[in-house]
Amino acid sequence: MPRSTYSFKVGDIECFPLSDGSFPYPPGLFFSNVPQRRLEKELRAHGLPTDTVTGTYTCLMISTGRHKVLLDTGGGNMAPSTGELLRNLEKAGTRATEIDVVILTHGHPDHIGGTVDTEGKPAFPNARYVMWKEEWDFWTGDSPDLSSMQVPEEIKTSLIMATARRCLPPLRRQIELIEKESEVVAGIRLLPTPGHTPGHMAVAISSGNDAVLHITDAVLHPIHLEQPEWQNVFDLVKDKAAETRRLILDRAAAERLNLMAYHFPFPTLGRVVARKTHGWHWEPAA
């Protein structure tokens, strides 16, 4: 069994990466502009299968002492292999009712699928949910423009839009929309990192001299670090996503920042190192 819970400290703040499960993707969705043979060669070089790319979903519970903050809610019932967040939250000693802030980094189904329970009620009843205003407006609007996403129409309607319609409107009374970089509770800052989606956020956690930057979906797979020009089908604003990615990674490498990334191998904690040729590589925390 792969590990599904873990903990580490950032100064006085306790962090608990919690698996929500994983999903097997056709490799062409993660790496869309790469000839198949070249991609297979790269996957093999990383010791990975060539027929699917496993996207792991790792949420993060952050306990500051005063607050219990959850970063994203996983895929919920989007697949038989997802929806493990609540069980793993309990394993970490926390009930859903104790969560007082839920950060929704963006509106994709693998991040918001667990915001509501099977009856359509908020799964974290005592929490304020926080999302970037532009992101909320995009996904709750009449007809979000998903034309730049090269996924079949069927997936756009039956999964992506269906999840947004099911999981966001019930939060209306608990949602707080932000429009500028803000501290959501002491030690946890929300940063705009647009591109993957219009209002995608990164989350900076800091306490004392210690810090970690959660880049959520600014980078989807460690191979994207080494091959920065390899695109994925999910980035909605591709040029912006590439620019955001470069800014974050240049800074992260120069400052040796501790990073987390939602779809990286569990528990997703590590650092990036600039390569001599181009790009970066991933150094998972020991």
- The residues binding Zn ion (CB under 5 A) are 110, 217
Least Å from the CB of residue 262 to Zn ion? 5
Q: Which residues of 109-148 are buried (b: 16+ CB within 10 A; e: fewer)?
A: bbbbbbbbbeeeebbbeebbbbbbebbbebbbeeebebee
Least Å from the CB of residue 75 to Zn ion? 9
Instruction: Specify the residue, 20 or 110, whose C-beta has the smaller distance to Zn ion.
Output: 110
Instruction: Specify the residue, 13 or 190, whose C-beta has the smaller distance to Zn ion.
Output: 190
Nearest Cα residue to 283 out of 86, 249, 272:
272
Per the CB < 8 A criterion, the answer to whether 108 and 160 are in contact is: yes
Instruction: Specify the residue, 105 or 207, whose C-beta has the smaller distance to Zn ion.
Output: 105
Instruction: Name residue, tokens 């190192």.
Output: 273
Instruction: Specify the residue, 110 or 235, whose C-beta has the smaller distance to Zn ion.
Output: 110
**Which are the contacts of 252, defined by CB distance < 8 A and separation ≥ 6?**
213, 215, 259, 271, 272
Least Å from the CB of residue 232 to Zn ion? 10
Instruction: Specify the residue, 187 or 222, whose C-beta has the smaller distance to Zn ion.
Output: 222
CA distances, 111 to each of 16, 35, 117, 207 (Å) = 17, 29, 14, 26
Least Å from the CB of residue 82 to Zn ion? 11
Least Å from the CB of residue 95 to Zn ion? 25
Least Å from the CB of residue 227 to Zn ion? 19
Separation CA 264–CA 212 (nearest Å)? 15
Instruction: Specify the residue, 6 or 234, whose C-beta has the smaller distance to Zn ion.
Output: 234
- Angle, CA of 274, 279 and 281, to the nearest 5°: 60
CA distances, 110 to each of 72, 105, 216, 283 (Å) = 9, 11, 11, 25
Separation CA 244–CA 250 (nearest Å)? 10
